Amino acid sequence: MAELVRLRDLRDDFQAAGVEIAVVSAENPEKSRNAAEKYELPFDVFSDEQGRLMESLGLRHAGQGPGRSDIYYATLYLVDHRSEVVWRFASRRTNERCPPERILEAARAHQAR
């Protein structure tokens, strides 16, 4: 949640760089909605409880979670107005996260092109 809160705090900077934030969570819709409300997230938080979107993006890591459950590592995409992926971050460990400032830097670099 720390990363989402930092994204929330940097929202104006992201908007200035032409970025709108959306989050996809593997949690059920109620947990996703509750987290968005609790942390006052001003962006959409979508639930992909069945993992269909994340599976289609190749983000499922079978048997890597607790009790050999499937998990999804944190992955971020910057998609431009033409629906082209212009930047991607994919974690290699369950506890690895990309600092929101790094995402903002990538967005600004793309905007400058």
Domains and CATH numbers, the chain: 2-107 (3.40.30.10)
Summarize pLDDT for 53-95 with one digit per residue, the tens. Answer: 988 888 888 888 889 988 888 888 888 888 888 899 988 877 8
Confidence class for position 51, pLDDT limits 50, 70, 90: confident
- Which of 14, 62, 4 lies closest to 37 in space, CA to CA? 4
Cβ(26)–Cβ(49) below 8 Å: yes
Percent residues over pLDDT 90 in the chain: 28
Q: Which of 69 and 105 is assigned the larger pLDDT?
A: 105
Q: Under a CB-based contact definition with an 8 Å cutoff, are residues 25 and 39 in contact?
A: no
Q: Is the pTM of this model over 0.85?
A: no
Residue with tokens 């940097």: 10
